[in-house]
Amino acid sequence: MNSILPFHSAYIGLGSNLGQSRSLLQEAWQALDQYPEVSLQALSSPYRTRPVGMKSSHWFINAAGLLRTTLAPEALLDLLLETEQKFGRIRHPEREGYQDRTLDLDLLFFDACIMQTARLVLPHPLMHERLFVLIPLAEIAPQAEHPLRNKTIAELLAEKQEQRGGSEGIEQAGWQEEGADQQTSPSP
C-alpha cells in the first residue's frame, strides 16, 4: 500500500555568532534540503543583531526560513539538532544561560500546533518577545498567525517595535560576507 504523507509548514529561526555566520546559515539551510522529508520554501534576508539575554562581544546573524515537511514536530527537532551538530554546535549543559554558537536552529511554528513536552514547546515560547526573530519572520510570513496570541507576525512585530521604540540593535545585511560577522559589539 502506497500512502501519501501530509506536508506540514514549519518556520525555523536561524542564528550564528561564531565563524563566518552568513555562510554557515546559508550552508545549514541548504543542508536541510538534503533530507527527502524536507522541502525548502523561503529564506529571509540575514539580519545583524546585538546579543540578547547573554553577555558576548560577538553580534549575531539571524534569519528565518519556511520549510515543508512530512516529519512530526519532534522528528523535525531531531533533524535540526543533528544539523547544528554537523556545523560545529557544541552544547554545554553544565553552563547556565545562552552561549556563543556557530549555529542555532529553532523550531518556531509547526502548522498551528500547540504542544509542550520535555524537549519541545510550540510555538516557540519567546519568539513574540524577540525582534531578531520577528523581523526576519515578518519578511517571509507577515500574515502567519501565532496560534496562542491570535495575532499575525506583522502585528506582533509592530507591538514589539512600539514597546521598544524601534528596532535598535538590528540591521538588515546582505548574504555576501563583508567581514562584519566577526565585528564585536560596541562597549556600553
Determine what percent of the chain falls in helix, strand and coil, rounding each to the nearest 5: 30, 25, 45
- Burial (0-12, 13-18, 19+ Cβ within 10 Å), 3: exposed
Q: How far apart are CA 118 and CA 121, in angstroms?
A: 8
Annotation says 101 is catalytic: yes
**Residue of 48, 104, 130, 181 marked active site:** 104
Annotation says 181 is catalytic: no
Cis preceding linkage at 123, omega within 30: yes
**Residue of 106, 111, 119, 130 marked active site:** 106
What amino acid is encoded at 38 in this protein?
V
97: how many CB neighbours lie within 10 A of its CB?
7
**Residue of 33, 50, 68, 89 marked active site:** 89
Least Cα distance to 80 among 104, 63, 110, 112 occurs for: 104
**Residue of 22, 33, 91, 101 marked active site:** 101
Q: How far apart are CA 111 and CA 177, in angstroms?
A: 33
Catalytic residues: 89, 101, 104, 106
